[in-house]
Structure 1
Amino acid sequence: MTSTSWARLLEGNQRWAEGRSEAGDTRGAVRRAELTGSQSPKTLILGCADSRVPAEILFDQGLGDLFVVRTAGHTLDAAVIGSMEYAVEILGVELLVVLGHEGCGAVAAAARVVDEVAVPHGYIRDVAEKISPNVLRARLGGASTLDEVGRQHARYTVEQVRERSTVLGDALRIGALEAVAAQYCLSTGRVTEVGAVPEQHLLAV
């Protein structure tokens, strides 16, 4: 992935991980006032709701820079996809990043469903069951550790976005939107690319 938007995010992540954040001035009152009438983010982040993975901070971005949708294990449902379609169709974002992370509790819960038939209670079950097919697919593909499963889950989520949304799928097909799957390391603070997902490969199973 070589887009300017993705390169900018990686540069920001490197700054933040090294303790050289430059985003302070873009999070203050002046920037807030500039955004009261409109927004024009260039990047959509679908990330995990984990409190340790705030996209704006770890990419060293300011107010208005990112359109962020976060759910446990970056799971998809109608509200999530609708929010993403709004970002692409109405706001005109150019880059989608599906951001997973090591030590994801949602992925671990889904892995227990697949590996041990241990189904959680309440609505956590719904989250785990949404992720379970990706866990199974990753296992069949040779993923042995939870972190490797999580990386593949991020990649497969990009595919699911393409398949489930005509708006997003068409944007990817014509090149109006680029997509990349990525993984965040809790210990180092660094984001690494799992792999760009070209449109022609998105339907691969």
Structure 2
Amino acid sequence: MTRTRPATEAWRRLAEGNERFAGDAPSHPRQDAARRAEIAAGQAPSAAILGCSDSRVAAEVLFDQGLGDLFVIRNAGQIADASAIASVEYAVAVLGVPLVVVLAHDRCGAVQAAIDASAPDAPPLPPLIAAHIRAIRPAVQAGGTDAAAVAGAHLESTVASLLAASDLLSAAVADGSVDVVGATYRLAEGRVERRFAIGDVA
């Protein structure tokens, strides 16, 4: 019997969990005292998620997962900055996750801020915010003022940036030990749409 690849199994669990959440039938698994005690001494998450800090996009909730299931990295606009890349590398090299998911979402404030800031008469943003969303500016050049197009371009560039900046991650993808999925979460519908994958994740 052919064994299911770890990345495929991890994505299946995420997809099934999202179906439960979107269908208003979450099971809230592995969130009790027994699970808390079980993982107190260590963790073995099945996937790493690089997502947005938006309060509506909590990965453990929308994928209906429990304590210790996901290694989650969040910042505004799911930017592949040094801290995020180092955290993904930790998940891969130390925790052994077989799947990395970069999770974008619609109506993203960081994406909209990058679009608005590109207007010729745009007021200046606070310096740290301006520096943070600089990574989204190339996607604005590609997508213009269409927020969905910009978000899609930014998702692709974030994954590309992760692989380009991390020899560790790109080597893990090349040897087949890690797959990467780019996905978008729809706020109103509650559904995660897989946009593309790098690797053999089914």
Q: Same fold (TM over 0.5)?
A: yes
Residue equivalent to 1:98: 102
Residue equivalent to 1:12: 17
CA contact (8 A) 1:158 1:197 kept: no
Residue equivalent to 2:85: 81
Taking a change above 3 Å as real, the CA distance of residues 121 and 30 of structure 1, as seen in their structure-2 partners, is: same
The alignment of Structure 1 onto Structure 2 pairs a total of residues equal to 193
Structure 1 letter corresponding to 2:198: V
Query: Equivalent pairs: percent with the same residue?
Result: 42
Residue equivalent to 2:4: none
Partner secondary structure for residue 97 of structure 2: coil
Q: Distance in 2 between matches of 1:154 and 1:85?
A: 19
Alpha-carbon shift at residue 67 of structure 1 (Å):
0.3
Partner secondary structure for residue 33 of structure 1: helix
1:40 to 32, 37, 44: 44
Taking a change above 3 Å as real, the CA distance of residues 117 and 67 of structure 1, as seen in their structure-2 partners, is: farther
Structure 1 letter corresponding to 2:14: L
1:133 to 112, 115, 138: 138
CA contact (8 A) 2:111 2:151 kept: yes
CA contact (8 A) 1:180 1:197 kept: yes
Q: CA-to-partner distance for each residue in 1:116-143, whole Å, 9 max, x for gaps? A: 463422311112212112332344xxxx
Residue equivalent to 1:202: none
Q: TM-score, normalised by structure 1?
A: 0.88
Structure 1 letter corresponding to 2:94: I
Q: CA-to-partner distance for each residue in 1:61-90, whole Å, 9 max, x for gaps? A: 000000000000001222111111100000
Residue equivalent to 1:69: 73
CA RMSD of aligned residues (A): 1.8
Richer in helix (by share): 1
Partner secondary structure for residue 97 of structure 1: strand
Structure 1: 5+ residue stretches without partners? 200-205
Q: Distance in 2 between matches of 1:170 and 1:117?
A: 44
CA contact (8 A) 2:111 2:147 kept: yes
